[in-house]
Structure 1
Amino acid sequence: MRIDAHQHFWQYHPVKEGWITDDMQVIRRDFMPADLKPLLDKHAFDGCVAVQADQSENETLFLLELAADNDWIKGVVGWLDLQEHDLNEQLAYFKANKHFKGVRHILQAEPKGFMTSNSFVEGVKSVGKHGLTYDILTNETQLDDVLELVRSLPAMPLVIDHISKPDIKKQSFDHWAKYMKILSEYDHVHVKLSGMATEADWQHWTEKDFTIYIDFCLQHFGPQRLMYGSDWPVCLVAGNYDHIISALQSSISSLSLEEQGWIMGKTATKFYNLI
């Protein structure tokens, strides 16, 4: 299957989506399945994975309702409070829903040490014990903590969202590459080739801005641990769906069709157990 492994839906509310700043006004509106389906069809995708954007249980329920009504939403990565005393009961409840594939927390907004605290680490371990995945959303300044988190976890399916957000606009590379190389040594760690345009110069980026990062990920993780994600509709602040997928496909065009197939869907299908 061809899968867009990372996108979002929301019914816009200025408080709930308070992270959408004035310079992101293009995404200050509702984005629902009817908006995405034509884009997926245009690019011959079989489906997508809907990822949480709000840190609430209501968000998880909202995404699961959309998945129930749209069979092309193949999986949901929701949010749960991983430090709650009844976490295992919540995980068991949501795991019973075939669309619930994993959990994410917006770690990029948390202080240093949050993701390495014992209570949080134990929460992520519980996610893995229930046969679920965990999406790691951080920026490059947090990669030391990401490494500590990964080292403390069993071999459960982990994926680093948005290649951990290096500052592409400033061509930041060495610090990011140092930690990503070490993380690549952990076979259960995967990477989403997503969210790069929003870390670049929104108005002036080109496909070449991403080449060094994508090539590095290919070299160290390999196609079978990489997956494409549009990060739609957040990506719209920097380019439309056509621009985003074109940039990625151009960067992997020299790979074999089998290798491209892993990145464009097979990795996500296996990682999230979408079949």
Structure 2
Amino acid sequence: MRIDSHQHFWKYDPAIHSWIPDEMSVLRKDFQPQDLQPVLKKNDISGCVLVQAEQSETETVRLLKWAKAHSFIKGVVGWIDLESSDAGSRLKYFSKNSFFKGVRHTVWDEKGEFMTNPDFQRGVGLLAHLGLTFDILVFDYQLAAAVDLVKAFPRQKFVLDHLGKPEINGAPGEDWANNIAQLGECPNVWCKLSGLVTAAPGLQWQAEDVSSYLQVVTHAFGPHRIMFGSDWPVCLSAASFEEVLHLAEEFFKNFSKEEKDKIFGSNAIEFYNLK
């Protein structure tokens, strides 16, 4: 089974989705299940993991409703306020839903120090005993704090989204590569091969540049802890779904069938405990 481990749906709202810049104006509209399903089918993708794009439980509820209504949505990574005093009760409430697989916290306007905040870490500490994962969304300059976070919770399953959001422009930077290597040394951390085409300056990506970053994460995590993610529809501001998929398939074309099956499906199934 081939799985897209990272995609989004939303009902566009200029205030909520103010993070979408003018150069990505193609994203300023609704993206819902009926828009993605035929794309997945055309590309032989059996299912996907739906990831939050808002800091609200309202969105989490909406994502779970979409998952219940559409069989190709295999799991949801939602949001709850992990720093809240009632984080435990909210996590227990949502974990009763079999589609609720984990939590993500967006960090567009925050510094990496939030990951070492005692209240936030208390919330992270509640996830493992409920069987919930945590998606790490950080910029490259926040990766050192992410290393501290994952080491503080060795029994918690983490996955790094978008390779830690480096600017893909020529050769990988030394600091980014060193932090990726440290994350790869932690057996509780996976990495999503997502968000690549939108990481190039001016959204003008080059396959050879992307490949050099894929080499670093593949060496750090191995084929058993990396997973393909399209980052649809965000990717559409720089490339089609087909182009994103081909970019990954081309890079891994000489890997064994077993390794490719892991990267394009079974790793996501294992990490998120998908049915």
Alignment of 1:65-76 (within 5 A): 65-76=65-76
For the 8 Å contact 1:104–1:135, the answer to whether it is kept is: yes
Instruction: Output the amino acid matched with 1:128.
Output: A
Whether 1:250 aligns to 2:250 is yes
Which range moves more in the overlay, 200-209 or 124-133? 200-209
Match of 2:90 in 1: 90
For the 8 Å contact 2:160–2:190, the answer to whether it is kept is: yes
Instruction: Output the amino acid matched with 1:102.
Output: G
Deviation at 1:204, TM superposition (A): 3.2
Q: 2:109 and 2:224 mapped to 1: Cα distance?
A: 29
Encode CA deviations 1:105-158: one digit per residue, 9 max, x unaligned. 013431231111111111111112211000000011001111111111132110
Match of 2:100 in 1: 100
Q: 1:74 and 1:8 mapped to 2: Cα distance?
A: 13
- Runs of 4+ residues deviating >3 angstroms: 201-204
SS at match of 1:30: coil
Q: 1:170 and 1:211 mapped to 2: Cα distance?
A: 10
Aligned residues: 275
SS at match of 2:175: helix
Which range moves more in the overlay, 53-62 or 147-156? 147-156
Match of 2:41 in 1: 41
Q: 1:254 and 1:170 mapped to 2: Cα distance?
A: 23
SS at match of 1:53: coil
Which range moves more in the overlay, 254-263 or 194-203? 194-203
Alignment of 1:164-179 (within 5 A): 164-169=164-169, 171-179=171-179
For the 8 Å contact 1:107–1:115, the answer to whether it is kept is: no
For the 8 Å contact 1:5–1:228, the answer to whether it is kept is: yes
Match of 1:189 in 2: 189
Encode CA deviations 1:222-245: one digit per residue, 9 max, x unaligned. 111000000000011111111111
SS at match of 2:187: coil
SS at match of 1:253: coil
Encode CA deviations 1:186-229: one digit per residue, 9 max, x unaligned. 10100000001110145532221111111121112111100000
Question: Over the residues paired in the alignment, what is the CA RMSD in angstroms?
Answer: 1.1
- Structure 1 gaps of 5+ residues are none
Instruction: Output the amino acid matched with 2:126.
Output: S
Alignment of 1:103-118 (within 5 A): 103-118=103-118
Match of 1:59 in 2: 59
For the 8 Å contact 2:75–2:101, the answer to whether it is kept is: yes
For the 8 Å contact 2:172–2:213, the answer to whether it is kept is: no
Q: 2:120 and 2:203 mapped to 1: Cα distance?
A: 38
Whether 1:217 aligns to 2:217 is yes
Instruction: Output the amino acid matched with 1:180.
Output: I
- Structure 2 gaps of 5+ residues are none
For the 8 Å contact 1:230–1:244, the answer to whether it is kept is: yes
Instruction: Output the amino acid matched with 1:152.
Output: A
Match of 2:18 in 1: 18
Percent of aligned positions with the same letter in both sequences?
A: 44
Q: 1:109 and 1:264 mapped to 2: Cα distance?
A: 32
Q: 1:51 and 1:252 mapped to 2: Cα distance?
A: 25
Match of 1:120 in 2: 120
Instruction: Output the amino acid matched with 1:43.
Output: N
Encode CA deviations 1:43-70: one digit per residue, 9 max, x unaligned. 1111000000000000100100100100
